[in-house]
Structure 1
Amino acid sequence: MRHTTKAPTRTTIGIIGAGPAGLLLARLLHDAGIDCVVLESRDRAYVEQRQRAGILEQTTVDVLRAAGAGGRMDREGLPHDGIELRYDRRSHRIDFPSLAGGRRVMVYAQTEMVKDLVARQLIDGPPLLFEAEVTGIEGLRAAEDTTGMKGATGTKGPAPTTIRYRHPAREPGAGSGTATLTCDHIVGCDGFHGVARDAIPAGLRRTYERTYPYSWLGILAQAPPAYDELIYAHSSRGFALASMRSPTVSRLYLQVPNGTDPADWPDARIWDELDTRLATDADPAWKLERGPIVAKSVLPMRSWVMEPMRYGRLLLAGDAAHIVPPTGAKGLNLAVADVVVLARALVQRHVTGSTELLDAYSETCLRRVWRAEHFSYTMTELLHTDPAHSAFETRLQLSQLDRIAHSRHAAAELAENYTGLPIAPPSP
Structure 2
Amino acid sequence: MFATVAIIGAGPAGLLLARMLHKAGIDSVVLEHRDRAYVEHRQRAGMLEQGTVDALRACGAADRLDREGLLHHGIELRFDRRSHHLDFPDLTGGRSVTIYAQTEIVKDLVALQLREGGPLIFEAQAVAIEQDMVTFLRDGVEEKLSCDFVVGCDGFHGISRAAIPDARTYERDYPYSWLGILADVPPSCAELIYAHSERGFALHSMRSPTVSRLYLQVPNDTDPDDWPDDRIWDELDARFAVDADWKLMRGPITQKSVTPMRSFVTEPMRHDRIFLAGDAAHIVPPTGAKGLNLAISDVVILARALERWYATGSADLLDAYSDTCLRRVWRAEHFSYFMTTLLHRAPGQTAFDARLQLSQLHRIADSRHAAAELAENYAGLR
Q: TM-score range by the shorter chain?
A: over 0.9
The AA in structure 2 aligned to 1:388 is G
Residues 98-247 of structure 1 aligned to structure 2 (within 5 Å): 98-138=90-130, 140=131, 161-168=132-139, 176-201=140-165, 204-247=166-209
- Name which of 236, 239, 258 aligns with 1:298: 258
Instruction: Give, in angstroms, the shift of residue 74 of structure 1.
Output: 0.7
Gaps of 5+ in 1: 1-8, 141-160, 169-175, 423-428
SS at match of 1:232: strand
Alpha-carbon distance in 2 for matches of 1:46, 1:259: 24
Tell me, in whole angstroms, the C-alpha distance in 1 between the residues paired with 2:258 and 2:93: 36
Describe the SS at the equivalent of 2:55. Answer: helix
5 Å-filtered alignment, 1:7-406, equals 9-138=1-130, 140=131, 161-168=132-139, 176-201=140-165, 204-283=166-245, 286-406=246-366
SS in 1 for 2:86: strand
After TM superposition, give the deviation of residue 243 of structure 1 in Å. Answer: 0.3
TM-score (structure 2 length as normaliser): 0.99
The residue type equivalent to 1:166 in the other structure is L
Report what 1:3 is aligned to: none
Which AA in structure 2 matches 1:96? F
CA distance in 1, matches of 2:313, 2:162: 29
Instruction: Say which SS state the counterpart of residue 216 (structure 1) adopts.
Output: strand
Q: Shift of residue 198 of structure 1?
A: 1.2
Q: What's the CA shift for 1:127? A: 1.1
**TM-fit CA distance, 1:88:** 1.1
Partner of 2:314, secondary structure, is: coil
Aligned residue pairs, count: 382
Percent identity over paired residues: 72
Q: Which amino acid aligns with 2:230?
A: A
Query: Deviations for 1:157-176, whole angstroms, at most 9, x for unmatched residues?
Result: xxxx11010113xxxxxxx5
Cα deviation digits, residues 174-194 of structure 1 (max 9, x gap):
xx5111000111000000000
Provide the rounded CA distance (Å) in 1 between the counterparts of 2:50 and 2:127: 37
1:28-54: CA deviation from partner (whole Å, max 9, x where unpaired): 101001111100010100000000001
Secondary structure of the equivalent of 1:360?
Answer: helix
Structure 2 CA distance for aligned equivalents of residues 380 and 260 of structure 1: 18
SS in 2 for 1:92: strand
RMSD: 0.7
Task: Write the distance in 2 (CA, Å) between the matches of 1:179 and 1:101.
Answer: 51
Higher CA-based Rg? 1
Q: Distance in 2 between matches of 1:343 and 1:122?
A: 20
Q: Give the secondary-structure state (helix, strand or coil) at the position aligned to 1:289.
A: coil
Q: Following TM superposition, by how much is the alpha carbon of 1:282 offset from its aligned partner in structure 2, in angstroms?
A: 2.9
Unaligned 5+ segments in structure 2 are none
How far apart are residue 338 of structure 1 and its match? Answer: 0.2
Shift of 1:388: 2.6
Q: Which has the higher helix share?
A: 2
Residue 126 of structure 1: CA displacement? 1.3
- SS of 1:184 mapped into structure 2: strand
Note the C-alpha offset of 1:205.
1.0
Separation in structure 2 between the aligned mates of residue 11 and residue 296 of structure 1, nearest angstrom: 40
What's the CA shift string for 1:249-305, capped at 9, x where partnerless?
00000000001110110000000000000001133xx22111110000100000000
In the aligned structure 1, how far is the partner of 2:54 from the partner of 2:348? 42
Question: 1:200 & 1:108 partners in 2: Cα distance?
Answer: 33
Please state whether the residue corresponding to 2:3 is helix, strand or coil: coil
Name the CA distance, whole Å, in 1 between partners of 2:299 and 2:113.
16
The one-letter code matched in structure 1 to 2:320 is A
SS in structure 2 of the partner of residue 228 of structure 1: coil
Once the 2 structures are TM-superposed, how far is the Cα of residue 389 of structure 1 from its aligned partner? 1.6
| Inter-partner Cα distance in structure 2 for 1:50 and 1:192 | 15
1:418 to partner: Cα distance: 0.7
SS in 1 for 2:221: coil
Q: List 4+ stretches of structure 1 deviating above 6 A.
A: none
